[in-house]
C-alpha cells in the first residue's frame, strides 16, 4: 500500500519558493508511489495570479492541495491565528485521510506535526530548512531587548529541542548546519539527519549559450558587448545591498560600461534609493520583475551573478536557492563565505569566488579576477554544480529518507 504523506508549509505554493523548493520535489516523489496532501498558506495576490498554475501542477501529479489564506498583520497575533487554523485543518485532514507521516517544512509546521505524532502516532519528518528562531533574531525581526520577543525566542528554542527529540528524520540544508545542530544537547543521536541543499531544476535552468545571451540582451535592450552583473531574488534584511553596490562601483572603475541587472520582486524604490545614495547613475542599472518561467531568460543576459548574504550564526544552515539556479545555467557567481556550505562549494566547483571580507582590498581582488571568471567554461560550471544541486539527486535523497522512516532496519547514508 502506498504511504500517505501530509506536507505542511507556511510558505505558499504560489510563492516563488513553493514553485522551486516544494512542488518539484513532491511531484518527483509522487512517481515513487507516495500520496501527498499539501497544506499551505497563500498570499492573496499570488494566489489570485498563480492558483491555476499550481492546480495544474498538483493535479497532474495526483497531489491534493489544501490552500489556506495567509494572515500578515498584526505581527505575532497573525501568526498565532494562522497556527490555530493550521492545527485545526491538519487534525481534520488526519482524521479523514489517516496519513502515515507528516512532512513539516520548518518550525511552525513542525509544531503541528509534533501534535499529530503525539495524538495519532503519525511519523514526524522535520525538514528543518534553517535555524528559524535564530534567523528571526539575527535578521532583526525579533529584537531580544524586547521582553515579548525574548519570550517568543525562548519559546521556540524550547520547541526546537522538542522537534529534534521526537522527529523520525531530520533534513538540514547544509553540512555546516548539520554539524552545528548535532552538537546541541537537544539533538537525539538516534535520529538520522540528511543533508539536501536547495536544489535546482536543471531542465528549467538550462545551460546558456552565446545565442541565448544575445536574445536575452535584445529583449532587455542591453548592449551586446558590455559587462552585465546580475542579482537574482528578493532584497531584504539578509541581503547586503550596500556591499554589493560598493563592489559594483569598484567594477565600474575598470569596466566603464558595466550594468547591474536586478531580477527581483522587491519594490524598485528600495533599489533606486540605494543606488542614488551610492551615486550610481540610472543608466547603469536595470530592474526587472520576472515570473519563474522568465527568470532563466533574463539571468542569461548576464556575465556574472552576485549575491552577498550576512554571514551570521543562523546562516550556517542556509542554502541560497539562487546559487544552484545560476550555476546550473553556467554563469559564475561572486558570493561570500560564512553562509552554509557556500565557500566549500565555490572551492570545489571553481565556479566563482566566495570572499571573506567586505572591504576595498577584497573588492579590488574580485575585479582582478573578472577576466578569469569570464573565461570559465559554462558547461563545466553546470556539470560541477550538478554534483550539489541537481534536483533529481535531491528527489532521490528525499526518497531514501522516506524509505528509512518506514524501514528502520535498513539505514542509509543520505
Tell me the CA distances in angstroms from 349 to 345, 354, 377, one per residue in order: 6, 12, 12
Residue with cell 538520522: 192
Cβ proximity of 90 and 8 under 8 Å: yes
| H or E stretch at 49 | helix 44-61
For residue 40, give the H/E element and its range.
Answer: strand 35-42
Please state, in angstroms and rounded to a whole number, the distance separating the CA atoms of residues 98 and 93: 8
Q: How many CB atoms lie within 10 A of CB 157?
A: 15
Q: What is the pTM of this model?
A: 0.91
Tens digits of pLDDT across the chain (414 residues): 689 999 999 999 999 889 999 999 999 999 999 999 999 999 999 999 999 999 999 999 999 999 999 998 888 889 899 999 999 999 999 999 999 999 999 999 999 999 999 999 999 999 999 999 999 999 888 999 999 999 999 999 999 999 999 999 999 999 999 999 999 999 999 999 999 999 999 999 999 999 999 999 999 999 999 999 999 998 987 899 999 999 999 999 999 999 999 999 899 999 999 999 999 999 999 999 998 889 999 999 999 999 999 999 999 999 999 999 999 999 999 999 999 999 999 999 999 999 999 999 999 999 999 999 999 999 999 999 999 999 999 999 999 999 999 985 445 445
CATH superfamily name and code, 4-199+390-405 = Glycogen Phosphorylase B; (3.40.50.2000)
Residues whose CB falls within 8 Å of the CB of residue 398, separated by 6 or more in sequence, listed in order: 25, 28, 29, 171, 196
The b-or-e profile of 328-342 (16+ CB within 10 A means b, else e) is: bbbbbbbbbbbbbbb
Domain-wise residue ranges, the chain = 4-199+390-405, 210-389
- Copy the grid coordinates of residue 169: 528524520
Q: What distance lies between CA 180 and its chain's CA centroid?
A: 19
Same fold yes or no, 4-199+390-405 and 210-389 = yes
**Which superfamily, per CATH, for 210-389?**
Glycogen Phosphorylase B; (3.40.50.2000)
Q: Which of 294, 233, 225 is nearest to 262 (CA)?
A: 233
- The answer to whether 316 touches 340, Cβ cutoff 8 Å, is yes
Cα–Cα dist 318/176, whole Å: 9
Cell numbers of 116, please?
A: 499529530
- 161/158 Cα distance (integer angstroms): 5
Amino acid at each position: 500500500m502506498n504511504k500517505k504523506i501530509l506536507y505542511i508549509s507556511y510558505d505558499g505554493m504560489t510563492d516563488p519558493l513553493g514553485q522551486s523548493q516544494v512542488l518539484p520535489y513532491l511531484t518527483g516523489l509522487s512517481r515513487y508511489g507516495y500520496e501527498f496532501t499539501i497544506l499551505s498558506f497563500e498570499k492573496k495576490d499570488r494566489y489570485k495570479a498563480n492558483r491555476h498554475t499550481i492546480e495544474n501542477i498538483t493535479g497532474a501529479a495526483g497531489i491534493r492541495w489544501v490552500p489556506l489564506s495567509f494572515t500578515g498583520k498584526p505581527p505575532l497575533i497573525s501568526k498565532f491565528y494562522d497556527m490555530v487554523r493550521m492545527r485545526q485543518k491538519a487534525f481534520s485532514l488526519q482524521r479523514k485521510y489517516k496519513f502515515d507521516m507528516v512532512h513539516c517544512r520548518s518550525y511552525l509546521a513542525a509544531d503541528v506535526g509534533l501534535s499529530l505524532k503525539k495524538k495519532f502516532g503519525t511519523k514526524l519528518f522535520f525538514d528543518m530548512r534553517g535555524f528559524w528562531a535564530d534567523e528571526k533574531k539575527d535578521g532583526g525581526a525579533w529584537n531580544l531587548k524586547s521582553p515579548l520577543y525574548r519570550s517568543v525566542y525562548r519559546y521556540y528554542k524550547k520547541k526546537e529541542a522538542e522537534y529534534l527529540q521526537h522527529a523520525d528524520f531530520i533534513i538540514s540544508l547544509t553540512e555546516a548546519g548539520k554539524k552545528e545542530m548535532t552538537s546541541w544537547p537537544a539533538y537525539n543521536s538516534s535520529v538520522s539527519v540528511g543533508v539536501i541543499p536547495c536544489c535546482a531544476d536543471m531542465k528549467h535552468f538550462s545551460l546558456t549559450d552565446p545565442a541565448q545571451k544575445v536574445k536575452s540582451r535584445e529583449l532587455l535592450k542591453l548592449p551586446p558587448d558590455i559587462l552585465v552583473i546580475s542579482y537574482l531574488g528578493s532584497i531584504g534584511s539578509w541581503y547586503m545591498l550596500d556591499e554589493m553596490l560598493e563592489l559594483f562601483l569598484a567594477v565600474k572603475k575598470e569596466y566603464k560600461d558595466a550594468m547591474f541587472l536586478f531580477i527581483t520582486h522587491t519594490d524598485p524604490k528600495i533599489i533606486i534609493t540605494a543606488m542614488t545614495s551610492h551615486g550610481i547613475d540610472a543608466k547603469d542599472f536595470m530592474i526587472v520583475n520576472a515570473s519563474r518561467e522568465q527568470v532563466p531568460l533574463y539571468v542569461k543576459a548576464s556575465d556574472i551573478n552576485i549575491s552577498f548574504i550576512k554571514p551570521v550564526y543562523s546562516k550556517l544552515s542556509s542554502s541560497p536557492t539562487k546559487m544552484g539556479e545560476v550555476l546550473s545555467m553556467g554563469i559564475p557567481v561572486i558570493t561570500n563565505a560564512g553562509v552554509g556550505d557556500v565557500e566549500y562549494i565555490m572551492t570545489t566547483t571553481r565556479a566563482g569566488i566566495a570572499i571573506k571580507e567586505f572591504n576595498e582590498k577584497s573588492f579590488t581582488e574580485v575585479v582582478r579576477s573578472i577576466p578569469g571568471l569570464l573565461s570559465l567554461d559554462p558547461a563545466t560550471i553546470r556539470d560541477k554544480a550538478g554534483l550539489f544541486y541537481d534536483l533529481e539527486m535531491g528527489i532521490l535523497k528525499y526518497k531514501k529518507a522516506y524509505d528509512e522512516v518506514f524501514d528502520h532496519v535498513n539505514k542509509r547514508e543520505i
